[in-house]
Amino acid sequence: MDWVKIGSALFLLAMIIFLFPRMKQAIKHSPKGTMKDWMGFIIPIAGVFLFVVLLIAAVR
């Protein structure tokens, strides 16, 4: 295993350690979304998904 892989792994591990307390804080303090709120997120994500499928078809 070369040093770039080890360095990348350590870098990702450092990011996980750094972000973990923020995740706990976000879970504790984030407001809960209603079904309507989540639909407002799902619709644009579905649009992104369809657009990516279109891009895949374009490069194939």
Partner 1 sequence: MYNNQTIQRTQESVLATNKVLRNTYTLLSMTLVFSAIMAYIGVATGASHGGALVANIAAIGLLWFVLPRTANSGAGIGVVFAFTGLLGYGLGPILSYYLAVNPSIVTTALGGTGVIFLGLSGYALTTRKDFSFMGAFLMVGLLVILGAALLNIFMGIPALSLAISAGIMIIMSGLILYQTSSIIHGGETNYIMATASLFLSLLNMFTALLHILGAFSGDD
Site of interaction with partner 1 (CB under 8 A): 3-5, 7-9, 11-13, 15-16, 18-20, 22-23, 26-27, 29-33, 37, 40-41, 44-45, 47-48, 51-52, 55-56, 58-60
Q: How far is the CB of 8 from partner 1 (least distance, A)?
A: 6
CB of 12 to partner 1, least distance (A): 4
Round the CA-based radius of gyration of the chain to a whole number and report it: 19
Instruction: Give a three-class secondary structure readout of 22-59.
Output: HHHHHHHHCCCCCHHHHHHHHHHHHHHHHHHHHHHHHH
